[in-house]
Structure 1
Amino acid sequence: MNYQDLIDDEFSRNIGLLSEEEQKKLLSSQVSAVGAGGVGGLHILTLARLGVGKFHIADPDTFEAANVSRQFGASKRSYGKNKAEVLAEMVRDINPQAEIRAYTEGVTDDNLDEFLDGSTALVDGIDFFQFEMRRKLFIRAREKGIYAITCAPLGFGSTLQVFSPQGMDFDTYFGIRENDPDEKKLAAFASGLAPYPYHLKYLDLSKVDMAAQKGPAVAPACTLAASLLTTEAVKIITGSQPIYPVPHYIQIDMYRRKLKKGFLLFGGKNPIQMLKTYLIYEKLKESMKGK
């Protein structure tokens, strides 16, 4: 990869906010992006425009018409095509010298280590309901000394949580116990992602289908999530600014003009968080009755 030519041409407008040395670090670094849909696709494209030069992209799904409202790889030309392959091609259009491997089968137990190998950061764009594989990825990333970043699009807002290999781990932050039922793990995950669920004031819960694993989502939340996540990725890769990993979090709701920078003392063992998890769990159980 010819770093100087890329800095002089494709990424010249980054310089001034990034130094040339920082830009070289981005061009020589690899991220592992799991999910190439609503948030994942935009994470990947934004990182590519920032100059990240190497990607592992995993997604077994294909684009369809219902994706076009919020997934930036979705268009009539991409319907029926694998999301990881479409995003890989879009990255090559941005940077023809980029090194990319597309995992069209998604991340599995068999390829998990290979997917993470060589990366500085794990970028989480996997569907909310795919909890067990997300948990495996975050645990293994920690074991490999890799940062993991997740941003949940919620309503017209987003949250940000960064997991440092030396900081609080995934299970502790979310309050996950191995033998908990799946619904309780999802409840704990939701509670930890959004300690202040601002979006519930305007979310029509009747449009949330837990059985079908579908709910409302809009493009502005995805773009905000990408802004939050990719900025953290730049800081991690370049070492240019301090990182505030969990139990620190950021929550923004643009619709209600709310911003919260918080510190979740004791993570999922915080008594208030435990109560929130219980209440969400009860709602999940109720919504699943008769499904």
Structure 2
Amino acid sequence: IFKGVSMFDYSQAFSRNIGWVTQEEQKALKNKRIAIGGLGGVGGSHLITLTRLGIGNFNIADLDDFDYPNFNRQYGATLSSVGRPKAEVMQETILDINPELDIQLFDNGITEENLDDFLKDVDVYVDSLDIFALEIRRKVFARCYELGIPTITAAPMGMGTAFLIFLPGKMSFEEYFALEGLSFEDQIIYFIMGVSPTVLQRHYLVDRSSVNFLHEKVPSTIMGIEISAGVACTQVLKLLFNRGEIICAPRGLHFDAYLNKLKKSWRPFGNKNPIQKIMYRRIKKILEEN
């Protein structure tokens, strides 16, 4: 199907990773399985990065088609992919990098009915669902916690990224974000300020009218996407081999390339922390002014 498939050699294709990973680790990556929910913005870049790292097995899900508004940030968005399913396009793309991949494709997205199949045999779940898809996101994180699967969410924030890791036996997604009983708009606010407690990106937003949670509208940049992928996939590597410091909730990191800043966050009790309550009131006031 693909030119050169018969000549593909895994060890040669990913040989330049050696040095940052050992020969034994590279071989082990071939047998790891990563689940990625959402293949649009950051999800597409996560998938490409992990494929080039040498991960050999993926469970990937997306139910949307590519369209022109995706062009500013989504890896698979091209003139030839407009109107085509994101899952199908991204599957073709990574098979063109590694034709030996085992890919379980969920082209109708993640649902309650297929959730266990989506997480079957998964070593790490990388969250890249649409920011507004909170209902299914909560279910995915809850099931991962029950199954003992580490989870990562690295959100593109302006021209940087903020990330959180949830580990089995530690603080859960629900405990940290405290979304139960909130309105849809407040859930979005709590999710954003939970992922990014320092909200560094607020300092250089030049057009506040571009943010409208009720209309599911937020701005984005490719810089934030690519930084997110680099950060998240580095954490995947560390989790898979249990090496390097793992920062997990209620602690997180936010790096902003525009401001040249790295901020560490620590929010005991998550969004129930008094500091988060103050931040919520500030964000709410700004949104109401618009």
Question: Which category of TM-score, normalised to the shorter sequence, fits these structures?
Answer: over 0.9
1:179, distance to aligned residue in structure 2 (A): 2.2
Alpha-carbon distance in structure 2 between the residues aligned to 1:136 and 1:191: 20
Residue 55 of structure 1 is matched in structure 2 by: 58
> Which of 119, 122, 132 is 2:122 aligned to?
119
Indicate how the Cα distance of structure 1 residues 95 and 190 shifts in structure 2: closer, same or farther if over 3 A, else same.
same
Deviation string, structure 1 residues 48-87 (Cα, Å, up to 9, x no partner): 0000110111000000111111101110111111111111
More displaced 10-residue stretch of structure 1: 180-189 or 29-38 = 180-189
Residue 29 of structure 1 is matched in structure 2 by: 32
Q: 8 Å contact 1:60–1:82 — kept in the other structure?
A: yes
1:283, distance to aligned residue in structure 2 (A): 5.4
The answer to whether structure 1 residue 190 and structure 2 residue 187 are counterparts is no
Three-state SS of the structure 2 residue aligned to 1:77 is helix
1:209, distance to aligned residue in structure 2 (A): 2.9
> Which of 64, 72, 83 is 2:75 aligned to?
72
Indicate how the Cα distance of structure 1 residues 282 and 117 shifts in structure 2: closer, same or farther if over 3 A, else same.
farther
Deviation string, structure 1 residues 206-244 (Cα, Å, up to 9, x no partner): 112323312211101000000000000011112222322
Q: 8 Å contact 2:32–2:55 — kept in the other structure?
A: yes
Alpha-carbon distance in structure 1 between the residues aligned to 2:140 and 2:272: 22
Q: 8 Å contact 1:25–1:237 — kept in the other structure?
A: no
Alpha-carbon distance in structure 2 between the residues aligned to 1:71 and 1:80: 14
The answer to whether structure 1 residue 42 and structure 2 residue 21 are counterparts is no
| Structure 1 unmatched ranges of 5 or more | none
Residue 132 of structure 1 is matched in structure 2 by: 135
> Which of 6, 11, 19 is 2:10 aligned to?
6
Q: 8 Å contact 2:188–2:213 — kept in the other structure?
A: no
Equivalent residue letter for 1:6: Y
Alignment of 1:210-225 (within 5 A): 210-225=213-228
- TM-score relative to the length of structure 1: 0.92
1:287, distance to aligned residue in structure 2 (A): 7.9
Deviation string, structure 1 residues 153-190 (Cα, Å, up to 9, x no partner): 111111010110121001111133x2222222222111
Residue 233 of structure 1 is matched in structure 2 by: 236
More displaced 10-residue stretch of structure 1: 207-216 or 32-41 = 207-216
More displaced 10-residue stretch of structure 1: 266-275 or 84-93 = 266-275
Alpha-carbon distance in structure 1 between the residues aligned to 2:214 and 2:265: 32
Deviation string, structure 1 residues 250-269 (Cα, Å, up to 9, x no partner): 10111111111222222222
More displaced 10-residue stretch of structure 1: 141-150 or 268-277 = 268-277
| Structure 2 unmatched ranges of 5 or more | 1-7
Alpha-carbon distance in structure 1 between the residues aligned to 2:118 and 2:268: 32
Alpha-carbon distance in structure 2 between the residues aligned to 1:24 and 1:262: 35
Indicate how the Cα distance of structure 1 residues 212 and 180 shifts in structure 2: closer, same or farther if over 3 A, else same.
closer
Residue 3 of structure 2 is matched in structure 1 by: none
Q: 8 Å contact 1:59–1:107 — kept in the other structure?
A: yes
More displaced 10-residue stretch of structure 1: 16-25 or 225-234 = 16-25
Residue 4 of structure 2 is matched in structure 1 by: none
Alpha-carbon distance in structure 2 between the residues aligned to 1:136 and 1:112: 9
Three-state SS of the structure 1 residue aligned to 2:213 is coil
Three-state SS of the structure 1 residue aligned to 2:132 is coil
Q: 8 Å contact 1:210–1:287 — kept in the other structure?
A: no
Alpha-carbon distance in structure 1 between the residues aligned to 2:63 and 2:104: 13
The answer to whether structure 1 residue 144 and structure 2 residue 147 are counterparts is yes
Sequence identity (%): 40
1:146, distance to aligned residue in structure 2 (A): 0.3
Three-state SS of the structure 2 residue aligned to 1:152 is strand
Q: Which runs of 4+ in 1 moved over 6 A?
A: none
Residue 179 of structure 1 is matched in structure 2 by: 181
The answer to whether structure 1 residue 209 and structure 2 residue 224 are counterparts is no
Q: 8 Å contact 2:39–2:61 — kept in the other structure?
A: yes
Q: 8 Å contact 1:183–1:281 — kept in the other structure?
A: no
More displaced 10-residue stretch of structure 1: 195-204 or 35-44 = 195-204
